[in-house]
Amino acid sequence: MRTRLNKWGMVGIEAAIVLIAFVIVAAAFSFMVVNMGLFATQRGRDAVQQGLQEASTPLTMDGSIIIRGNSTGDGVDVIIIPLKTVGVKYVPMGADTTVVTLKIENRTAYANIYHGINTTDPTDKTYDQLVAGVSAGQAILFIENSDGDNSLDTQEKGYLVIHLGSGEHATYRDHVFIEIRPEKGAPLSIEFVIPPELQSGYITIG
């Protein structure tokens, strides 16, 4: 009778060992499945966030467009666009990371007129003083409250000054198309029409 009890005891121990082994394997497998699920979820969320970032522009206009009627009052030689960031802490705006295209319908087109940031603080400057720092056929960004880097930050305001070349001034009822394309995110597209009545000096449109 004692021998039979000993055999039952051995069988019970073996069964317990097998059961423990199954539990350990199941726990390890469950951990692996959960870990892979969390990894896949994280990657999926990153992909969605990246897609949203690429589909939305990190730049927006911060006010109205300002244009300057030339000395004869029959065309526009300067366009000033106020800018700020939206949804991001900063947007790199160096000459090597940003493209600004300009098209004046049936008149002229620039593939890229952007020449980077001018570090002059525009706070106490007149528009004419800012334009004096931009060569004809170029676009330069001036940043108010700048921290001195090559980015437009959340707390900063930018003024994109476009100086049209001689003989390429926009005139009455011309359609103007401007696209500001940062390194990441969708471009900011701007379209407006030169008003039918112009005069020398600065006027606000839009």
Residue 101, domain CATH: 2.60.40
Please determine, for residue 127, whether its predicted confidence score (pLDDT) is greater than 80. Answer: yes
pLDDT in tens, 69-91: 998 888 999 999 999 999 899 99
- pLDDT at position 14: 61
- What are the counts of helices (DSSP H) followed by strands (DSSP E) for the chain? 2, 13
pLDDT, mean of residues 16-33: 62
Is residue 33 domain-shared with residue 97, that is, in the same domain?
A: no
Is residue 41 domain-shared with residue 73, that is, in the same domain?
A: no
206 by DSSP, 3-state: which? Answer: coil
pLDDT in tens, 34-70: 555 554 456 545 444 444 444 468 999 999 999 999 9
Is residue 69 domain-shared with residue 23, that is, in the same domain?
A: no
Is residue 66 domain-shared with residue 32, that is, in the same domain?
A: no
Residue 172 DSSP class: T
Is residue 38 domain-shared with residue 114, that is, in the same domain?
A: no
What gap in Å lies between CA 50 and CA 185, rounded to an integer?
A: 9
What is the pTM assigned to this prediction? 0.73
Number of domains in the chain: 2
Domain range for residue 6?
1-55
Q: Which residues pair with 189 in a beta bridge?
A: 179
Is residue 101 domain-shared with residue 4, that is, in the same domain?
A: no
Is residue 18 domain-shared with residue 75, that is, in the same domain?
A: no
Q: Which of 55, 84, 100 corresponds to the end of one domain? A: 55
